[in-house]
Structure 1
């Protein structure tokens, strides 16, 4: 019997943790949210396939859904898609987090001269997590305009969730090489690779193994929907032992609300991993769903 969202509280209670810590959640300003959802509704070129959005309620309804699931902390993860919008998104996300106690103040950046100023200022003001989406933004992670920003983030230790993998649709800016170049220059940068870098899993695992502060999130990986996105989308079983060896560098992500299945499905598929690799057990799940993200965010 597939899990439903009603099963989620029992999942984390049985693990003996106080709830879920999901950094990879999205809340955006109304007009931008509507535009993003239209891209998904239209199955546009950056999406590549029909993608029905399951959780389309109001802001209050979506916050209530997360609370009902037992998500104690979550990001909002705005992402700049062009110059001149990052500070607007950052201010909106700050105000949202001020009104919703569970929300992490999430910020974004874009390769523009102003980033050298607004990134350290936003760090100093208390931004807790950053988001970068190179597939949407269509820029190089190692653009020289971003070098001061990466340096400031590395010094601060503030995590940056980066969608750098080539899924669901690649472009000239996606893949592991640009992030590898950034980490070579800023090895202390605290990175969370979204979607485990799908579909270039092995290469992004190597980065997480190489750099002390590079992490991976589980967002959509192993779900039935994600596994149907082409031959390269399923996570190879022969890489599962490397997840064990990484230890507490893997954390929960969901992509709520922009998912085409129940929130519970992400947790269900994580519990099934032990059938293929027994060491991905309850203690591993405790790290993924609670201990690792709390440590990463300094709580």
Structure 2
């Protein structure tokens, strides 16, 4: 595992798409995947919270996130409070937060930013909400003005939702072009359309979560003719993995990236340097 990034001369990995959340919420997430059927989406790293965090560190991950997402009103503020406590106990976790379209969303988003939140998560599929909802307009504005990154699951994989696909979120970007957005899963399966948005908006990034792995390539292969475009925006592609909720070992994501053949400089940027720059991490030697 460590040899992958050590051979690139990196001090470790920066993983912008990992999940830590309250135990009762995480159990429901795991139950969802279990209900897909035996062997469809087995959770590889199903153990206690401290063990999961220590394992990431053993992989060489120097910064990670605790992404979570509400599916109904009244959840987000509570989840944000839990995340503040988690980051306090795990200082290598980039303090995470979230929101939901509700009357006080902009208020608690601003409070979270002022209190030290470093990254937000929006999940348009699970939350089943429209990113253009009027309650969210000030939320996007707060994040754009503060420069706080938001990881947005807006692609239609693994299953489409009413508001997934590039169209709805493209309208948000038209209204808030300075938003620092990280499109989760590289926008799978609408890779080309989300590459368009990354080329159009200089603060739009893509994360690699599950993309390019054998598991995803079976159903939503990345178009190989788009690799030159992926290389060209290499300063805005970020390592993401979906740990621990992945149906294969963590190293599969790293191997998938190396197989793309986009070069050592691209790999160094994606696995560490882009995330370190985005979150202004202090330098660290090997």
Are 2:78 and 1:96 equivalent residues in the alignment?
A: no
SS at match of 1:256: coil
1:266 aligned partner: 253
Distance in 1 between the 2:32 and 2:268 partners? Answer: 35
2:284 aligned partner: none
2:273 aligned partner: 291
Could you tell me whether the CA contact under 8 Å between 1:217 and 1:252 is conserved in 2? yes
Give the 5 Å matches for 1:16-95: 16-43=9-36, 50-95=40-85
Runs of 4+ in structure 1 over 4 Å off: none
The runs of 5 or more residues in structure 2 that have no matched partner are 282-286
Could you tell me whether the CA contact under 8 Å between 1:142 and 1:182 is conserved in 2? yes
Report the number of matched residues.
280
1:4 aligned partner: none
| TM-score, normalization by structure 2 | 0.96
CA deviations 1:70-98 (Å, max 9, x no partner) are 00000011111111000111010110010
| Counterpart among 145, 159, 173 of residue 169 in structure 1 | 159
1:12 aligned partner: 5
1:277 aligned partner: none
- RMSD after superposition: 1.0
| TM-score, normalization by structure 1 | 0.92
SS at match of 1:203: helix
SS at match of 1:107: strand
SS at match of 1:25: coil
Distance in 1 between the 2:107 and 2:162 partners? Answer: 28
Could you tell me whether the CA contact under 8 Å between 1:42 and 1:50 is conserved in 2? no
The runs of 5 or more residues in structure 1 that have no matched partner are 1-7, 275-279
| TM-superposed deviation, 1:246 | 1.1
1:238 aligned partner: 225
SS at match of 1:239: helix
2:210 aligned partner: 220
Distance in 2 between the 1:255 and 1:116 partners? Answer: 27
1:255 aligned partner: 242
